[in-house]
Amino acid sequence: DVKVTQSSRYLVKRTGEKVFLECVQDMDHENMFWYRQDPGLGLRLIYFSYDVKMKEKGDIPEGYSVSREKKERFSLILESASTNQTSMYLCASSLRGGTGELFFGEGSRLTVL
Amino acid sequence: AQSVTQPDIHITVSEGASLELRCNYSYGATPYLFWYVQSPGQGLQLLLKYFSGDTLVQGIKGFEAEFKRSQSSFNLRKPSVHWSDAAEYFCAVGARGLTGGGNKLTFGTGTQLKVEL
C-alpha cells in the first residue's frame, strides 16, 4: 500500500523553539508539498519541491523553510515557532508530469504555547 | 490561475437521505477535478477524480460526481448517506498541460458534513 508518513502526529512546542516536521513517501514521487490547514481557510500551500534540493514558495511561506536532501523525504522547518503557527500541517506527494493528484499523510497537529 | 468555490460551509442531512455537495471552479480550459474527504484528525483521502471522457465519475464509498462544463461545476452526490460519511469534503482543481513542478492543486475551503441519526 502506497504511503506518505508524517513522523509526528501531535506536537506541543514553546514560542521561539525550532520545530522540524518530517515527511517520507514510498511512491518514488518527484513532487512533495507542505500544506497548512486552518478552520474556514481550507488548505494553504506553504512550500513545495519538484526535485531533490529544489524548493519553491507556495502561498504562505513566511516563517517557514524546507529541506529536501533525498527524494523520499521532505522536511518543514519553523525556525522560531510562534503561536500563530498553531495549526494542522499536511504533507503530500504527486507524480511529476501527472494530473496533480495528491497523496496525503495523516497530518501533524502542532500547538505552539 | 485556477480557483475553486465550495459555497456551503456546513451541511446537515439525515441518515439515509440523499446528498449533494457543490463545487464551482474557475479555469480557462477543462481542468483535472478531484474530491477528497477528511475524517476528524486525519489526512485527506481521494474520493474520486475526473480527467476526461464520461462526465459522470464513480468513486469510493458510493459517491459520484458530475462534471458540467457549461456550469463550471463538479458536484459530489450520494443517494443515501450513512452516519460514517460525516467528515469534511474538499473539492480541488488541477491545471492541464503543466510539467515539472507546475501542476499544483487548488483547493476549496471545504464543506463540513453532519449526519443526523
- Of the given ranges (A27-41, A80-94, B79-93, B96-110), which has the lowest mean pLDDT? B96-110
Q: How many CB atoms lie within 10 A of CB B72?
A: 15
User: Could B94 and A40 be called an inter-chain contact, meaning their C-beta atoms sit closer than 8 Å?
Assistant: no
Closest chain A C-alpha to B5 CA, distance in angstroms: 11
Query: Is B6 in contact with B91 (CB distance < 8 Å)?
Result: yes
- For residue B92, the chain A residues in CB contact (below 8 A) are 102
d(CA B58, CA B60): 7
Per-residue pLDDT, averaged over B52-71, amounts to 94
pLDDT value of position B101: 47
pLDDT value of position B98: 54
Mutate which of A33, A36, A43 to test chain B, going by most B C-beta atoms within 10 A? A43
List, in sequence order, the alpha helices (H) in A31-97: none
Q: Does the pLDDT value for residue B100 go beyond 70?
A: no
How high is the mean pLDDT in each 10-residue block of chain A (113 residues)? 88 97 94 93 92 91 96 97 97 84 94 97
Q: Does the pLDDT value for residue B93 go beyond 70?
A: yes
Query: Which candidate from B32, B42, B90 shows the least CB-CB separation from A100?
Result: B32
pLDDT tens-digit series, residues B66-75: 999 999 999 9
Count contacts between A and B (CB, < 8 Å).
71
pLDDT value of position B95: 74
List, in sequence order, the alpha helices (H) in B45-89: none
Q: Hey, is the C-beta of A87 within 8 angstroms of any chain B C-beta?
A: no
Residue type, A23: C
User: Could A100 and B95 be called an inter-chain contact, meaning their C-beta atoms sit closer than 8 Å?
Assistant: yes
pLDDT value of position B51: 87
